[in-house]
Amino acid sequence: MGVWHDVIGQFGYFVIFAFLSLGLVGVPIPIPDEVLLTYLGYITSLGEMSFTLTFIAAVLGSICGITFSYFLGVKLGEPFIEKYGHKLFIKKRTVKRTKRLFDKYGSLLLIFSYFIPGIRHVAAYISGITRYSLKQFLLFATAGAMMWVIVFLSIGNRLGTNWNIIAHLFRKYSLSIFAIIILIVIICITIYRYRKQSMS
């Protein structure tokens, strides 16, 4: 990671913004998003970068990238993905799986899709294609970006030199983790509604 350390040291927060913007659009970058974020967290633990400014740059980059993907979906539609998706490393089966998840979980997918490599930017395309409310999209996509960034930055910051272990495990088991998170959210919503009905 020595090269990346030099690049980040030279260009600072701009390169964080740029790489995450590109990554969320689907443009392949040499380092996976989760690995980059955990590494950035590690750098903040060394005191070489501000945790707060790193968080802001990463969130803004993520929102910029995923919003651009949304507008691509609005303007170009599904035929664009079918024709050029492979150039952005978007597989047809990924699109179909994302559609199923979007139909099933709706807004929740926009929040938690960040944690699923290959799904997050496709979810934005699908949102645009289906003309999902821009206001709602920005609300949930921003919430998801903030959660995603803070999780991986914090992991890298806390683990120090062992930052890469969790990044690897998270990428390997991301779908299982997503399913667990969704289950927890559903349980919490069910309990909340039950208590609200009991009190009324």
CA dist 121 → 45, 46, 112, 159, 172 (Å): 29, 31, 12, 28, 18
pLDDT value, residue 55: 95
Predicted pLDDT at 59: 95
Asked if 41 contacts 157 with a C-beta cutoff of 8 angstroms, the reply is: yes
* Positions of the chain with pLDDT lower than 50, given as ranges: none
Burial (CB count within 10 angstroms: exposed 0-12, middle 13-18, buried 19+), residue 57: buried
Distance CA 72, CA 197 (A): 42
Determine the straight-line distance between the first and last CA of the chain, rounded to whole angstroms: 57
> What confidence score (pLDDT) does residue 159 get?
80
